[in-house]
Structure 1
Amino acid sequence: MMTTTKKIEICSQKSNKCITTIYIIHSPKTKFWRHLFYSFPSQLQSTGKTLDRMEDQIRSEFRKNNFVLVEEEEILRKCLTFCINYNLSPSDLVSSWDLYSINRQLELIVSDAHMDAFRQQLQSEQKQVIIENEQGLHSYTDVTMEMTDEHEDAKEVVPTSPAGQNVVNLDSFDVTPITNGKLHSLRNTSELVTPFGQRKNKFVVHSRVNSKHTAHDIKEEQGEENSDDDVIKRIQPIKRCSLEVHGSHPAPGCRYMYDRIEDKFNYLEDRIMKYSEALIASQLFEEVVDPSVASQKSIFAVGMICCEEEGRLKEKPIMLQSCVEHSGGQRVRLDLQKLDQFSIFPGQVVGVEGHNPSGHCLIATKIVDYIPLSVSHDDSSHETKTQAMDLDKQPADSSDISSDLSLIIASGPFTTTDNLFFEPLSDLLAYAQRKQPQVLVLLGPFIDSEHPEIKKGALNTTYDELFRVEIIRRLQDYVEFMGSAARVILVPSVRDAHHDFVFPQPAFDINLADPNHQITCITNPGIISANKVKVGCCSVDVLKQLSTDLVSRGIKNRMNTLTNHLLSQRSFYPLYPPSEDTPVDLSLASEALQMSTTPDILIVPSDLTHFVKVLSLEGTSEAKCMCVNPGRLARGEGGGHFVEVNFHGTPDSSSASVIRI
């Protein structure tokens, strides 16, 4: 199918002379006719009175709003084209520019460098109006001309990605403005002005943990240029790290969204039973009894925190549901008035010391919300599967593997909301090429289903193809540039438009011819071991969801408490019932959501404030875990944050930096 253009001439009834010519373009992608531009007859173009009057009005509107035109003649000519193409009055045009400048924090100076980006905003506004009024569109019939190779300038031109791949063909670029009688080309994306590209500093260190960096390193991280000789002196070849993937559940192509009530019951019952067995094995607590039986003496019970009513958990009433073995699954009211400090949420499994004099209410005197470290993880029922990557290249003796590891951690979205050029990802990879980490950990979403253009369905390519072209090809170029020592870990997200909408989530199935196993896809959530450093990853925003349903008293550091709940519950997602936007399938969760081992580094990206914290595990001050929230690499039309970690044996001796891009 070809793009066609139709011409309509509007003539005077008295003189039968042409007053105005309207051209209308039909795109096979949009499947309907749309107005493209007006063409004034020769007599109007020769006098130019109408156009001059409109230019004066545009100039006057800019001055009325205190704007200063730097290149006045060029700007007025382009603004006049915008008014004609988009049927805007001068006041409407200046109002749109005012909004554009406020959103991008520009001063009162109007520069020609911003005209291309301003035109894109006008195109998006026009496209939204057309979509909203699509039912009222009419098709016009008149002289039709086919666009052939002779009309090369009139072909639809769309911006390409920074990698040069012409994959994103948005409807918002169908209407191409005319300047000096020629179509304005958008072939070179380097000429496009995006808010992300207007950053003054590319990389700014936001905060550090255990910093040992010099002023020279800070200057380098902030993006200041150095000579080529200086770069060669500072960069040392990285050493390839060992890599093992713990667990493989769920597997790609698994059957999901068929979980039954029996599956949910078995999952919750199994969690309570394992928690009870672990507390009994520690020999620090009494025998577990039924909390719903009346008793005047102090008892010890184990159960799951529940809410009696729908909605958020409230301090009253809070229920404790014990296992079938001890109480037949009955619930009892839990009274926390005697506690000075606690932090609970629905789905949390706890041990409770207290007494129940009436049989209807358990009055708590102590809550145990962690499993002592003296109790090892239960691997008897489900043996953890471990997949070692390229075993032939690993040392024969595991003691020869160093516990040092360098990582760069980033979480999606990887492109700004105003385009699909993936500029933040390109800058991140450029930074990684300079810093040369052993492992680059990227967590989704990669093709974000919440992106405005994806929500509109404005692509002419599949999500899978967009993922391969914009993400996988960039990563292949990265590992090719870095050499065989570099590794990339990909973790999917439930917001990935091209992947299974289920949690826990299988790994990407990318089928790369990668003999060196440099690009590794793991499940969400998942655990890897790199140089004996255990790294746990989960792309679901569980911290934000926990913060919504958390009930606490006497807690000083809420963020530390939220993160510690994941470690103490030994679960990547201990919340139940789950959040409405998280498609949890409990038939897959028994092995996938459980932390088979306590990680040295726990990566939990969230919309909450980014952080890097070294936390002591509950019940001990010796065992610690480095918890990382890298934030989002792209936030709106600007950059976000990522984290660089240098791990040296233990979290206390390691360093990390939060970097704003």
Structure 2
Amino acid sequence: MASIDELKVNFHFMDIEAKNDILEKCLELCSKYEVSAEDLVDQWSAFAASHFNTITPTLAALELMEHRELIKQQQQLRQKRRYLKTEVKPALTTEAQTPETVKSKKRHRSPEDDKENLPSTSALNISESFTYHNRSNPLKVLLSTAYTTKNISRNYNSAVSVCVKQYGPQSNWLSVEAKYMFEKPKIITTCINEIIEYLGHSLIKKYKLENPQGILQLTGNIVTFGRICCNPKGKLKPTSIQLEYSVELGQGNRISLNLSKLPSYALFPGQVVAAVGEVIHGNTVVAHELYSNVTLPLSLEEIKIPDTLEMIIAAAPFTFNHNIAYEPLQDLLKYAAEKKPHLLVLTGPLLDESHENLTDECLLESYDSLFNNLIDCIMTTFKDLTTQVVIVASQKEIFHVPVYPTPPYVSKNKYPNLHFVPDPSMLDIGGLIVGVTATDVLFQMSREEISLGRSGDRMSRLVSHLIEQQSFYPLIPPKLRVSYRLLEKHATMDVTPHLLILPSTLRYFIKEVNGCMVVNPERLTKGYTAGTFAHLKISAPIKGPIFSSSECDIIQI
């Protein structure tokens, strides 16, 4: 049972001083909907980031969250408890698996049988997902740019195959042989230092600032750069921000950064900034100007794509929390088989390490076997089509390496139109550069960013941090398991992509940020209910940003 003190602690962790009436309302919600204090505050953070420009709760905002989220979740949970069945259903097997048949040879099916072609183990108690099958408005378009874009070509030829490869020379690609353990503190500090040096000098050059310097005097004007840091004891706060120098500029020391003279700012831990201001007391810089935008230009390569390039994008999880029937994935594959897109992009994990059914005690076969059978099912759908399938790795994959950046998957069966790529990846599709990640960096940044005087769309601002810092994951310290050596080399953007795919639990969106088209398809499933995916059409020829020559729909599965 939640308590006022627990709520205070969790809100304080987010740098929110909640008033008594807010705490009492939250306690009421915890009791009414059977959620913990931590889960309620996390849900508020995600809801606020998607709907408001502030994370400070109000009574009206909490009531809105209750109406839109908590009531629906309670209804779904009740239905799940009511209709959960105890009998075994081999809903996803090529043949009903028993201990005797687990090791038998897999029977191949035709595309028409894909409803029964996904791998599973009948040792699990799989429900029929009553809520999902009785959902209203499947394939309903929830958001579309069709009314805001123009000149979209309608000449679509699904028989035309597109070339998919990772961007840049192959020597720079993250491979399955990448080493990621045993990083000594010196290696970590060296990697962080190189990031500070590169971005810092890029800012100085772009804004034509004077030569930077560390604090050498007690008072006076100064131009400097460094990494935004917070007090080691807590989260980032406007009154306790520190700036960490590079080794070359200031021997890696930290100084206090005073923001009182700035009319506006948006900062997060790990952000590299250039500051123009004055020194006071020999250890504090009062910033008058702050710069953080070193956005790279779009690729200048010629784009060679079909008249209309079609792409379907979906993000894990692909099955519900209470089964591994993969019904939403089956329906997605059916939709893709009908639409015949040039590209299907799936971001992992396919077998989520947090799934309540994926335990050794429940399974009659190995994780690798489950994964390979799942891949076979996906690719069987497209065996007679030219659709290219891209699967982005995830560190949450139960059988894969738990590190970010994450090396690509490996499957025993090879398909010419299947591409396993690391997380994150920059893809080159006939000169069209697509950035994609399976990591929910937007949600993590929404909990760490602080801002003042920045009106407008917060989601666009969070996305802009990635583009402006040339990184898929600029947060330091990270909120996940990171290899700093791999992060420095494989999580950066060498150019600004034409299209950036950022799956998140935050509400779906389609935006243009700094000339880059950004799509958050949200999740294919949300706990026990149906989620969403994206269907994108890009018209050729393309010169520069693609948003005005594209149509994108967010569709309920």
Question: Within 5 A, what are the aligned runs for 1:44-123?
Answer: 102-103=75-76, 117-120=83-86
1:292–1:330 Cα contact (<8 Å) kept? no
1:292–1:331 Cα contact (<8 Å) kept? no
For 1:546, the aligned partner's letter is: M
Instruction: Report the counterpart of residue 198 of structure 1 in structure 2.
Output: 134
SS in 1 for 2:548: strand
Query: 1:101 deviation in Å?
Result: 11
Instruction: Report the counterpart of residue 121 of structure 2 in structure 1.
Output: 168
Relative to structure 1, the CA distance from residue 374 to residue 522 in structure 2 (aligned partners, 3 Å threshold; closer, same or farther) is closer
Q: Which has the higher strand share?
A: 1
Question: Within 5 A, what are the aligned runs for 1:204-353?
Answer: 204-211=140-147, 236-246=157-167, 248-282=172-206, 284-291=208-215, 293-297=217-221, 299-353=222-276
Q: Is 1:508 equivalent to 2:409 in the alignment? A: yes
Query: 1:212 deviation in Å?
Result: 7.5
Query: 1:202 deviation in Å?
Result: 2.0
Distance 2:408 2:296 in 1: 30
Instruction: Report the counterpart of residue 429 of structure 1 in structure 2.
Output: 333
1:196–1:416 Cα contact (<8 Å) kept? no
1:408–1:439 Cα contact (<8 Å) kept? yes
1:282–1:374 Cα contact (<8 Å) kept? no
Picking from 283, 291, 294, the partner of 1:368 is 291
2:228–2:241 Cα contact (<8 Å) kept? yes
1:402–1:532 Cα contact (<8 Å) kept? no
Let me know the Cα RMSD of the aligned residues.
Answer: 3.3
Instruction: Report the counterpart of residue 466 of structure 2 in structure 1.
Output: 566
| Deviation sequence 1:440-470 (CA, Å, 0-9, x none) | 1100111011111115742222111111112
Question: Within 5 A, what are the aligned runs for 1:365-514?
Answer: 365-371=288-294, 373=296, 401=305, 404-455=308-359, 457-470=361-374, 472-481=375-384, 483=385, 485-514=386-415
Question: Within 5 A, what are the aligned runs for 1:515-530?
Answer: 517-530=416-429
| Deviation sequence 1:385-411 (CA, Å, 0-9, x none) | xxxxxxxxxxxx967555853211110
1:371–1:568 Cα contact (<8 Å) kept? yes
Instruction: Report the counterpart of residue 535 of structure 2 in structure 1.
Output: 644
Instruction: Report the counterpart of residue 225 of structure 1 in structure 2.
Output: none
Query: 1:571 deviation in Å?
Result: 0.5
1:644–1:658 Cα contact (<8 Å) kept? yes
Relative to structure 1, the CA distance from residue 400 to residue 421 in structure 2 (aligned partners, 3 Å threshold; closer, same or farther) is closer
Distance 2:449 2:520 in 1: 19
Relative to structure 1, the CA distance from residue 457 to residue 320 in structure 2 (aligned partners, 3 Å threshold; closer, same or farther) is farther
Pick which of 644-653 and 605-614 moved more. Answer: 644-653
| Deviation sequence 1:574-632 (CA, Å, 0-9, x none) | 000011xx1101122221111122111111111111111111x2xxxxxx001111111
Instruction: Answer 1 or 2: higher relative contact order, Cα 8 Å, separation at least 6.
Output: 2
Relative to structure 1, the CA distance from residue 300 to residue 402 in structure 2 (aligned partners, 3 Å threshold; closer, same or farther) is farther
Query: 1:258 deviation in Å?
Result: 1.3
Distance 2:299 2:144 in 1: 33
Distance 1:374 1:294 in 2: 40
Instruction: Report the counterpart of residue 40 of structure 1 in structure 2.
Output: none
Relative to structure 1, the CA distance from residue 205 to residue 500 in structure 2 (aligned partners, 3 Å threshold; closer, same or farther) is same
Query: 1:287 deviation in Å?
Result: 1.4
1:235–1:435 Cα contact (<8 Å) kept? no
2:295–2:469 Cα contact (<8 Å) kept? no
Relative to structure 1, the CA distance from residue 626 to residue 195 in structure 2 (aligned partners, 3 Å threshold; closer, same or farther) is same
For 1:168, the aligned partner's letter is: T
Query: 1:345 deviation in Å?
Result: 0.7
Distance 1:421 1:626 in 2: 34
Picking from 436, 439, 456, the partner of 1:540 is 439
Relative to structure 1, the CA distance from residue 166 to residue 659 in structure 2 (aligned partners, 3 Å threshold; closer, same or farther) is closer
Query: 1:637 deviation in Å?
Result: 1.7
Larger Cα-atom Rg: 1
Query: 1:498 deviation in Å?
Result: 1.6
Query: 1:554 deviation in Å?
Result: 1.2
1:249–1:588 Cα contact (<8 Å) kept? no
Distance 1:199 1:167 in 2: 24
| Deviation sequence 1:332-367 (CA, Å, 0-9, x none) | 100001111100011110111111032121000111
Pick which of 357-366 and 401-410 moved more. Answer: 401-410
Query: 1:325 deviation in Å?
Result: 1.1
For 2:521, the aligned partner's letter is: P
2:88–2:123 Cα contact (<8 Å) kept? no
Relative to structure 1, the CA distance from residue 512 to residue 359 in structure 2 (aligned partners, 3 Å threshold; closer, same or farther) is same
SS in 1 for 2:547: strand
Distance 2:268 2:490 in 1: 21
Relative to structure 1, the CA distance from residue 122 to residue 250 in structure 2 (aligned partners, 3 Å threshold; closer, same or farther) is closer
Query: 1:284 deviation in Å?
Result: 2.0
Relative to structure 1, the CA distance from residue 251 to residue 196 in structure 2 (aligned partners, 3 Å threshold; closer, same or farther) is same
Distance 1:660 1:255 in 2: 39
Relative to structure 1, the CA distance from residue 431 to residue 122 in structure 2 (aligned partners, 3 Å threshold; closer, same or farther) is closer
1:535–1:599 Cα contact (<8 Å) kept? yes
Picking from 354, 357, 365, the partner of 2:280 is 357
2:392–2:423 Cα contact (<8 Å) kept? yes
Distance 1:660 1:424 in 2: 10
SS in 2 for 1:429: helix
For 1:348, the aligned partner's letter is: Q
| Deviation sequence 1:265-318 (CA, Å, 0-9, x none) | 111111111113323433622211114643423x21110001123331111210
Query: 1:657 deviation in Å?
Result: 0.8
Distance 2:446 2:334 in 1: 35
For 1:630, the aligned partner's letter is: P
For 1:206, the aligned partner's letter is: L
Identity of aligned residues (%): 28
Q: Structure 2: which 5+ runs fail to align?
A: 1-72, 90-98, 101-112
Picking from 623, 626, 648, the partner of 2:517 is 626
Relative to structure 1, the CA distance from residue 101 to residue 493 in structure 2 (aligned partners, 3 Å threshold; closer, same or farther) is closer
2:347–2:394 Cα contact (<8 Å) kept? yes
| Deviation sequence 1:551-585 (CA, Å, 0-9, x none) | 11112221111110000000111000011xx1101
1:282–1:375 Cα contact (<8 Å) kept? no
Distance 1:195 1:445 in 2: 23
Distance 1:300 1:565 in 2: 22
1:539–1:604 Cα contact (<8 Å) kept? yes
SS in 2 for 1:250: coil
SS in 1 for 2:383: helix
Task: Name the TM-score, length of structure 1 as normaliser.
Answer: 0.63
Distance 2:174 2:547 in 1: 30
2:125–2:323 Cα contact (<8 Å) kept? no
2:316–2:524 Cα contact (<8 Å) kept? yes
Distance 2:147 2:531 in 1: 21
Aligned length: 453
1:449–1:495 Cα contact (<8 Å) kept? yes
2:434–2:500 Cα contact (<8 Å) kept? yes
1:292–1:362 Cα contact (<8 Å) kept? no
1:292–1:356 Cα contact (<8 Å) kept? no
Distance 1:642 1:488 in 2: 15
SS in 2 for 1:659: strand
For 2:492, the aligned partner's letter is: Q
Relative to structure 1, the CA distance from residue 325 to residue 115 in structure 2 (aligned partners, 3 Å threshold; closer, same or farther) is closer
